[in-house]
Amino acid sequence: MIVTKKKLAVIVLVILGILSVMVIGAILLVKVTVQPLKLDRPKVASQAPILKSEKYSITYNSNGTFEPESLTVKVGDLITFKNNSSEGMEIAIGEHESHLSLKGFEEKEVKSQGSYIFSPRERGSFIFHNHLKPQKSGKLVIE
């Protein structure tokens, strides 16, 4: 049997047609028989609990003292250092020159009548002072 170009083209077209029908049939079969998996969604609280934080102030006065000299707060409370003196101050935590690290606190220059707010992230007992005039200090206890 002699295969001519015309016969070869017909054979190729028939084979391609059969393959096309098989592929389309397989796609339709999979689409019809595969069902999406139904999963129960986990129940999530609509709102996260709101933690109540208290607000406190420590004031630096013209005579170089802090009021109050001692303050006890909780982790997450807001503490405002207010500068009521006529000069600038640089609020620092820790003994003068050593300045212990307290998470959430950055040594900060506070201009006259300005303020600095921070929220402590760790517990402990700390000394605070004006780095520019460290003679007077205060105590901050974080529970």
Are residues 26 and 62 both part of a single domain? no
- What is the number of structural domains in the chain? 2
Structural domain includes residue 41: no
CATH number at residue 100: 2.60.40.420
3-state secondary structure of 43: coil
What's the CA gap between 9 and 19, in Å, rounded? 15
Same-domain check for residues 84 and 18: no
Establish if 43 belongs to a structural domain: no
CA 108 to chain centre: 22
Q: What is the pLDDT of residues 35-66, one digit of tens each?
A: 667 777 776 666 656 667 899 999 999 999 99
| 46 belongs to a structural domain | no
- Total residues found in the chain within this entry: 143
* Distance from C-alpha of 82 to C-alpha of 111, rounded to nearest angstrom: 9
- What pTM, to 2 d.p., does this model score? 0.61
Which tokens sit at 93? 């935590």
First-last CA distance in the chain: 99
Q: Which domain holds residue 10?
A: 1-36
Q: How confident is the model at residue 102 (pLDDT cuts 50, 70, 90)?
A: confident
Contact 104, 35 (CB under 8 A): no
The answer to whether residue 42 is domain-embedded is no
Does residue 48 form part of some domain?
no
Domain presence at residue 71: yes
- Indicate if 30 and 67 belong to the same structural domain: no
Domain identity same for 123 and 83? yes
Tell me, yes or no, whether 74 lies in a domain. yes
Strand partners, 110: 89
Question: Percent of the chain beyond pLDDT 70?
Answer: 83
